[in-house]
Structure 1
Amino acid sequence: MLQIAEADSLEESTRHLAIEFVITLAEARERAPGMMRKLPQFISRLFAILMKMLLDIEDEPAWHAAESEDEDAGETTNYSVGQECLDRLSISLGGNTIVPVASEQLPAYLAAPEWQKHHAALIALAQIAEGCAKVMIKNLEQVVAMVLNSFQDPHPRVRWAAINAIGQLSTDLGPDLQVQYHQSVLPALAGAMDDFQNPRVQAHAASAVLNFSENCTPDILTPYLDGVVSKLLVLLQNGKQMVQEGALTALASVADSSQEHFQKYYDAVMPYLKAILVNATDKSNRMLRAKSMECISLVGMAVGKEKFREDAKQVMEVLMALQGSHMETDDPTTSYMLQAWARLCKCLGQDFLPYMSVVMPPLLQSAQLKPDVTITSADDDNDIDDSDDDSMETITLGDKRIGIKTSVLEEKATACNMLCCYADELKEGFFPWIDQVAPTLVPLLKFYFHEEVRKAAVSAMPELLRSAKLAIEKGQAQGRNETYVKQLSDYIVPALVEALHKEPDTEICANILDALNECLQTSGPLLDESQVKSIVEEIKQVITASSSRKRERAERTKAEDFDAEEQELIKEENEQEEEVFDQVGEIIGTLIKTFKASFLPFFDELALYLTPMWAKDKTPEERRIAICIFDEVAEQCREAAVKYYDTFLPFLLEACNDENPDVRQAAVYGLGVCSEFGGAVIKPLVGEALSRLNAVIQHPNAQQSENVMAYDNAISALGKISQFHRDRIDAAQVIPAWLNCLPIKGDLVEAKVVHEQLCSMVESKFIEVTPL
């Protein structure tokens, strides 16, 4: 295949197919990447082929003219394939494989006299950064120096590529790059903004400021604000349209990252932004106007309501007028305006309510957009060619090829996110819109065309329930009562459970569980038994499916080609499973808190799935969650939970001295709970419990930061044993030892409990206080 890819005599399309075959093989993680990584010469040859493809670029006058967004002028199909394949190769094989090859080949490109080779090296660095991030972060000094040296290159396309690389590295290697190299990167970008002979370079420098500041804390950015903001203002006034757009985006990001530190620039910046918003009315200026909206709303959020209030009124008048005008379907103003309104709402809070009647109708319309789908035969020669249209994405399912217009999906996702944003910000003020929003978003919990749409719909569910409950509590629900919350809960909760059952993405599974938990915290007491049963049944399914996926990954570790890179990927996937299990623990905890002992029949069913999680071969996180669930049962169900002590206390006692501090904390906390509520059942174990707690408290590193929470909870448990089982301890020794450990200062929640306990023990003469 590589011979075909290297053969200049063959047609370009044939060579591209050969490369596609090899890259697809590298991406087939279950089958081949370990095998591919074991062929370093093969990878080196493939990388060299892709680098050579990046040289197929021409110095088009259109690129220098910078009259349009056409920044790929001069790029060929060869170049585009090379660029895309470098990205895919690095993501599939990882940094340990790709970085040594890149380190071997890129210096020769950078040392060569041809500008195309310099350009290729910088483009390659940007393309491999995402897949190689962990390894490249370890070699940051070398990587950053390589890029910054090219900021002075005589050829503007090379300078552009260097800026492009810094922008991409700021995203993929942040925040490490920002923390370590802000003092060299920001001045270099500021210098590039002075390149008035090359407006495309200027515009890209402004865009890179956006990438850099997104991963920046205010303390890093603030010292550079004077210089950066003044340069961006110059570009706003004097630059070509493309440069102005870049400057607006950069200003928006800088304001967002620096927050209140941006206040001192507000009076200088806002008049320019408002002028663009009002005057950029031509069709050719639509994106400029859209970006001014984005910038104004982010600046407003950064400086706060008091500073922004008067300008906000003027801006919203302009937006309302725009909203009432006819806009073409491809006008970017629509999407930018949806987001700007939501930011203005976040900034103004309840003061935004009068504008909701203007904002909501088009927002609902966007959220209700139907996906633009085209279906053809997979082997049809006239199929959808996504390379010709960036707004189309194609997937092949069996013998069908499905094309989806992504711009429609993105607008829909933005609208759904904004609806969630309004519900979150306006709380009870959002109540009048719930009856329209809930039927719009609930079906989108299963909108499998677009993950962002599903995520937004999931996030909105608890916000809608909270809004309804608050409105009723505050008498702002247009005469509705708690029955309305029950009806809304009966609509939302089963829909979330059903969506969870069908969700293919592990991360979104965790999101659904989180949203379901928040819904239960709001409307849990309103659930009937059949609804609780359906939730419990789904939790069983989630645990089973997660365990099955982990077993499958464990099997993959036995494959002949399994290597360290694959192990790292499997570790990351298993961490996602832990997030799922964590959310399962949270939901079970909420159900136990809500229904107390009446939940125990369901807990008995779940125990079969949870008990294996206590085993030593499980991860610390799995063990911690399993212990926390038992702690919750013991605390909330009290005497009714004593029947579980014989099963779980031996595990709990052993876990008190676990290597992992989070497991120890959960275990000693549980021991305290059992001491308080376990009565006679716990008495025979008091001696062993004291010994276990003493090992935690007396450990030489007990009060180091990672151990202090376990230490504080062990002291709390010791206090409970002293109070509730005094007859089983040597009080003259144990109680002074406990008092000696007070006050506790790490776990502030537990500190309050312990210090209140101390006060009540003194007041009840349980502890004799000897006057000094």
Structure 2
Amino acid sequence: MTQKTVLVQLLASVQQGLVDADDPQAQYLMHCWGRMCRVMGTDFLEYLGYVMPPLLELASAKADIQLLDDEDEVEAVQAQEGWELVPLKGKVIGIKTSTLDDKHMAIELLVVYAQVLEENFASYVQAVMANIALPGLAFFFHDPKAYGAESAELRGLWENTIPKILEVLSAEPAIDTLAEMYQCFYESVEVMGKNCLTPQHMELFMDSAISALDDYKGRVKARIEERADANREEGDEDSEETLYAIEDDQTLLSDMNKAFHCIFKNHGTQFLPSWEKLLTTYSAFLSSEDPTQRQWGLCIIDDVLEFCGDSSYKYMESLIKAPLIAGCQDPAPANRQAATYGIGVAAQRGGSQWTQFVGSVIELLFRAAQIPNARGDDDVYATENACAAIAKILHFNPAGVANQQEVLLHMHTFSLLSSSNNKNPAVTARPDKVFLFVVQALEAETLQGPTANRVVEAVKNLLAAAGVNPLNILTQLGPENSSKGPSMVCLIFLFNLGLIFELHGWLRIYEINF
């Protein structure tokens, strides 16, 4: 008998000996069972009979909630330990958090069992969803691999679940909880995949989103008025409470953004009629002085460009063109990143209607990629997106670029290596530059996976055609020219070029990464 088996049997014996509902051992046992499930995997199935009944009972517990009408009641509840007070439309709700803490722990353990046991947990799914998750709006999904996208069971769960999620999106007053519910929504849509939402679902989602954004704009306006009333000078910091409120709003916008992204990703142009309800709001956000609002608007534009193809051109003049141009020059790196990405996907997905526009912004993209400290930690992703956008224009939609060869010659980005397959002189004439750029890209881990493998193969062919020995190029990074040398990533790259037999000396020479 293994030690694992002895331990599990001991835990089972303790579990059977529990008679008092308040026995403190019960909570510790639940955590132990969760850890044992992770360790044992499907071998844990025979012990579910001990584990599930008390766990389901705790997860089904009803929270003690009181509506407090006057200050005396509020003060009385405040004096008690384990209660939280939540303001709601002029009243105060008291919630006994100790019960909710135990319920939360139990639901988290149910998630563990569902994730680890997968299809073996299927017999519990309906009861958990019907009796625990949906009534408490603590929604979660088991691993979708357990059923597959076309499973009748999964579809049935979804049909019962999505109305509840949409309902709470329109009713949740707490901002941090509302953000979590938007996260719940987009993760659920991601699980269900293509065409999981009906037009009615999309309309309900948009109604909730409009309400949430109206409330958000009201909070922003109130903060502006509060600053004005306080006669605070520019540069004065907000109170800690205000900073927390701003952070909650930013989290909410981020999760709403991801929800829009997920709908567009899985429904494309089907979402446009509902989405158009917010065109006025998008326009206001895109012209806002608040960089967070501008970023939110730009990310939505990116989704329209990426997932709606040539249908996006309908919004080109009214919504998209000016913000993308302004975004490329935005002082906020995140906004430049979003704007340059949008131009790239317009070139790739938008079709010939976008040819003139994407061709006209090449110079703007070059400037965005050449700002001071363009490769610094804050700006590198915006710079990479600008370079990638130029490459996408040249590859997918080059007809609007009048001086294509000149653009290629100025193209200091690794994405252009695809042109080596066409023997473009802008690339083939400088194999040394190409080699060093790719080594640096691998070093920085901006080239990874299958893309890195394709680039390595392209460089190998380029060097062979040019008759260039990469070790001669690598001397430019030698101790006499640099205080740093190539890392193991670089050496692996050279191994992929078939040069590992010449690298033992380099391993001894270099001791630090470049």
- Identify the TM-score tier after normalising by the shorter chain: 0.7 to 0.9
Give the whole-Å Cα distance in 1 for the aligned partners of 2:241 and 2:206: 31
Aligned residue in 2 for 1:553: 223
C-alpha deviation, 1:331, in angstroms = 1.6
Which residue identity is paired with 2:148?
Answer: E
Give the whole-Å Cα distance in 1 for the aligned partners of 2:354 and 2:91: 65
Q: Are 2:208 and 1:538 aligned?
A: yes
Aligned residue in 1 for 2:260: 588
Deviations 1:339-395 (A, max 9, x none): 2222222333333233222211111111222345689996999x96875x6467789
Q: Is the 8 A contact 1:624 1:662 kept in 2?
A: yes
Which residue identity is paired with 1:425?
Answer: V
Deviations 1:705-744 (A, max 9, x none): 2222112211111112223224632122112222665545
Secondary structure of 1:526's match?
coil
C-alpha deviation, 1:533, in angstroms = 1.9
Give the whole-Å Cα distance in 1 for the aligned partners of 2:339 and 2:399: 21
Give the whole-Å Cα distance in 1 for the aligned partners of 2:365 and 2:87: 59
C-alpha deviation, 1:396, in angstroms = 10
Correspondence for 1:355 among 27, 44, 47: 47
Correspondence for 1:415 among 89, 97, 106: 106
Give the whole-Å Cα distance in 2 for the aligned partners of 1:444 and 1:511: 16
Aligned residue in 1 for 2:308: 637
TM score, norm. by length of structure 2: 0.74
Which residue identity is paired with 1:340?
Answer: C
C-alpha deviation, 1:611, in angstroms = 2.5
C-alpha deviation, 1:580, in angstroms = 0.8
C-alpha deviation, 1:685, in angstroms = 3.2
Q: Are 2:34 and 1:342 aligned?
A: yes
Secondary structure of 1:463's match?
coil
Give 5+ residue unaligned stretches, structure 1: 1-308, 447-456, 475-480
C-alpha deviation, 1:404, in angstroms = 6.5
1:525-674 residue pairs with structure 2 within 5 A?
525-560=195-230, 566-618=238-290, 620-647=291-318, 648-674=320-346
Aligned residue in 2 for 1:3: none
C-alpha deviation, 1:332, in angstroms = 0.9
C-alpha deviation, 1:638, in angstroms = 1.1
Q: Are 2:61 and 1:369 aligned?
A: yes
Secondary structure of 2:308's match?
helix
Give the whole-Å Cα distance in 1 for the aligned partners of 2:394 and 2:88: 66
Give the whole-Å Cα distance in 1 for the aligned partners of 2:178 and 2:152: 29
Q: Is the 8 A contact 2:134 2:161 kept in 1?
A: no
Secondary structure of 2:329's match?
coil
Which residue identity is paired with 2:118?
Answer: K
Which residue identity is paired with 2:13?
Answer: A
Aligned residue in 2 for 1:514: 183
Give the whole-Å Cα distance in 1 for the aligned partners of 2:90 and 2:343: 60
Give the whole-Å Cα distance in 1 for the aligned partners of 2:32 and 2:72: 43
Correspondence for 1:471 among 139, 142, 146: 146
Correspondence for 2:10 among 315, 318, 322: 318
Give the whole-Å Cα distance in 1 for the aligned partners of 2:183 and 2:170: 14
Q: Is the 8 A contact 2:55 2:106 kept in 1?
A: yes
C-alpha deviation, 1:569, in angstroms = 2.8
Give the whole-Å Cα distance in 1 for the aligned partners of 2:239 and 2:257: 27
Q: Determine what percentage of the aligned residue pairs are the same residue.
A: 24
Which residue identity is paired with 2:402?
Answer: I
Q: Which structure has the larger Rg?
A: 1
Deviations 1:573-602 (A, max 9, x none): 112111111111111111111111222212
C-alpha deviation, 1:572, in angstroms = 2.5
Closer, same or farther: CA 363–691 of 1 in aligned 2, 3 Å: same
Aligned residue in 1 for 2:375: 703
Give 5+ residue unaligned stretches, structure 2: 416-437, 468-514
Give the whole-Å Cα distance in 2 for the aligned partners of 1:554 and 1:402: 29
Aligned residue in 2 for 1:437: 128
C-alpha deviation, 1:424, in angstroms = 3.4
Aligned residue in 2 for 1:70: none
Give the whole-Å Cα distance in 1 for the aligned partners of 2:140 and 2:224: 36
Which residue identity is paired with 1:625?
Answer: W
Deviations 1:494-515 (A, max 9, x none): 2112122222221111111111
Q: Is the 8 A contact 1:719 1:754 kept in 2?
A: no
Q: Is the 8 A contact 1:634 1:674 kept in 2?
A: yes
Closer, same or farther: CA 351–332 of 1 in aligned 2, 3 Å: same
Closer, same or farther: CA 606–757 of 1 in aligned 2, 3 Å: farther
Which residue identity is paired with 2:21?
Answer: T
Secondary structure of 1:691's match?
helix
What RMSD, in angstroms, separates the aligned Cα atoms of the two structures?
Answer: 3.8
Q: Are 2:158 and 1:489 aligned?
A: yes
